[in-house]
Structure 1
Amino acid sequence: MEIMKEKLSDAIKIQEKSIVSRQIIKKPSGNITLFAFDKDESLTEHTSPYEALVQIVKGRMTVTIGGNTFQVEEGEIILLPPNIPHGLVALEQTVMLLTMIK
């Protein structure tokens, strides 16, 4: 068993004009992935068959779910329901933790 103790905001580096990801856990039952977005970087609208939880570690994002837009800020979470189109845009440099449950 590997033990990891790290401050999430320091566990990944934001790169200019990029989205960077770091997989923390990958299991048959789900994944936890840390993302770093430069300002204005985005994940275009897509769907997933799995439920997902987005937690903003640092920064702010606009999250669109099924045509509804939400601003999610540092320390906040938002649930992405399965099979509903969603997309994300970083309003500033942002670190986001994505937990996907299969």
Structure 2
Amino acid sequence: MDQKYKQAEPDSIEKAKPHMIVEIIEYVPNAIVMKNIIKKPTGNISIMSFDSGEGLTEKTVPFDSFVQIIEGNAEIVIDRVSNQLKSGQGIVIPAHLSSFIRPNGRFKMIQTIIKSGYE
């Protein structure tokens, strides 16, 4: 699981316009691509695509985050407990618990991080 991030351009999507979320980001060979939907000091919503074999290494963050798989499936490990998520499923990753994401082939997800209330 290599951390090869690529930032999609532009960095946010057009407001007040409907979007087919799964189609606003593409797969890039051997990479993770991230595009911010909303980015604010109090939190952000991002969409990410993961090529086969790409995932996120173990980390601990000081904020809750919500992850929803929107295409494909992935294993999300929280505090050493494995959770197999498929398209349409989501999970809250609690603040201060270690987590990592392991792919099961290509997949796309939305991640929402809420920072307010943790100051």
| Interval of TM-score (by shorter of Structure 1 and Structure 2) | over 0.9
Structure 1 vs Structure 2 CA RMSD: 1.2
**2:48 aligned with 1:31:** no
TM-score of the superposed pair, with normalisation by structure 1: 0.95
Structure 1 segments of 4+ aligned residues over 3 angstroms from their partners: none
SS across alignment from 2:19: coil
Q: Post-superposition shift, 1:2?
A: 3.1
* 1:72 and 2:78 are equivalent in the alignment: no
| TM-superposed deviation, 1:84 | 0.3
Give CA deviations for 1:34-55 in whole Å, capped at 9, x if unaligned: 0000112110000110000000
Alpha-carbon displacement from aligned partner over 1:20-70 (angstroms, at most 9, x marks no partner): 000110112210000000112110000110000000000100101001111
Any gaps of 5 or more consecutive residues in structure 2? 1-13
- Partner of residue 82, structure 1: 95
Q: For 1:9, what is the secondary structure of its paired residue?
A: helix
The answer as to 2:22 corresponding to 1:9 is yes
Amino acid at match of 1:39: S
The runs of 5 or more residues in structure 1 that have no matched partner are: none
Identity %: 31
**Higher relative contact order by CA 8 Å / sep ≥ 6: 1 or 2?**
1
Instruction: Select 1:59's aligned residue among 62, 66, 72.
Output: 72
Structure 1 match to 2:59: 46
